[in-house]
Amino acid sequence: MRFSALSALFFVVALRALSAGTKSTDAARDGFKGAVKSVTTERQVVSPEPRQPDGPTVIYPAGCEVCDYDEDGNSVRRGQNREAGFVGETTRYVRDRDGNIQQQIVENEKGELNITATVGQFGKTEEEFYQHGVLQSTNKYRYDEKGNLIEWLTYDRDGGQTARTIATFDSNGTATEQFDYGPQGKVLLHYTQSYDPETDMQKFTNFNEDGTVRLAFTAKGERVTSFWQQPSDKDEFGSTVCSKTGCESHQPDGSLFRTVTTFADADSRNIARAERHDTDDQLQAAVDYEYEFDEHANWTKRSVWVWTRESSERVLLEVDSRRIAYWK
């Protein structure tokens, strides 16, 4: 079981590097099966959400308040319905003669340009980000021959480079080393990791700018077997370690929170139960998710039940309902 190392600051960068080369539709990444055309989700709050302590959450949002897809599973509209109307983004695609996407154009609900992206064989090669139609920054991406994202450059509106990420990968597609550089080439992140599928063993090390170790862990199977972090007053990249069955969140004060998840389906799309345990492995909170599914195995109703040690009472938090339309 390969773990992923997460933190709030570098989550997007790490996820992009770890998942490069994998191809899936937007609809599938949103957790849907079949030729989904549109999804509308409505949330009915039954009870006030209980206070959650710092650390990993066990209450997960339903997502996709408004999601529309084309026949290939690409997202064409995503956002929320408000009293004044739809608020969110609409995406248009420019294709070549063979139907391959060459460009993505993303606009907000006012028709203002948000993002333009040039798409190559392995994914986006360039993105331009706009605010009220005015260019703010540009990202450029470079891949190796297997589709792994090996370089990510960020430029400001005037063309000055503000950030750079470089990564290397092994034959299994694992990011073995990554550097994130900020302005003036300052090292913001440097980590190495390895994974041996034969022994199911993973090693991860996060380094300081001077090359000394900031954080390190080893994991085998579904459990972290060793963890060390230098004294710090903030969460470090790698302090939260996740597998398919849950996460371990190591706090700066040395305490530990662990989540354990079970799923309602074999492909781990829909969580059936999520538990949060403290340093002494005592259950702090548990959330049960109950579903009704349609003929395509997508849920159309979800009831969320919450129990906390503080209240010791299982209560119905919310009921989520979905309307799903499919391409014929």
User: Tens digit of pLDDT for each residue in 282-294?
Assistant: 999 999 999 999 9
Query: With bands split at pLDDT 50, 70 and 90, how would you rate the model's confidence at 23?
Result: low
Q: What does the pLDDT read at residue 176?
A: 97
Q: What does the pLDDT read at residue 20?
A: 37
Amino acid at 185: G
Residue 136 to residue 138: CA distance in whole angstroms: 7
pLDDT at 119 over 70: yes
- For 7, the 3-state DSSP assignment is coil
More confidently predicted of 8 and 77? 77
Q: The whole model's pTM is what? A: 0.85
Of 326, 271, 276, residue with least CA distance to 303: 271
User: ∠ CA 227-237-155 to the nearest 5 degrees?
Assistant: 160
Average pLDDT estimate for 231-251: 88
DSSP state of 8: T
Strand partners, 291: 302
Domain that holds residue 172: 4-326
Question: What confidence tens digit (pLDDT) does each residue in 38-94 have?
Answer: 999 999 999 988 776 666 689 999 999 999 999 999 999 999 999 889 999 999 999
Strand partners, 158: none
Contact assessment for residue 229 and residue 240, using Cβ atoms and an 8 Å cutoff: no
Question: What confidence tens digit (pLDDT) does each residue in 91-106 have?
Answer: 999 999 999 999 999 9
pLDDT at 218 over 80: yes
Query: With bands split at pLDDT 50, 70 and 90, how would you rate the model's confidence at 326?
Result: very high
Q: How many domains does the chain have?
A: 1
- For 315, the 3-state DSSP assignment is strand
Residue 4 to residue 202: CA distance in whole angstroms: 10
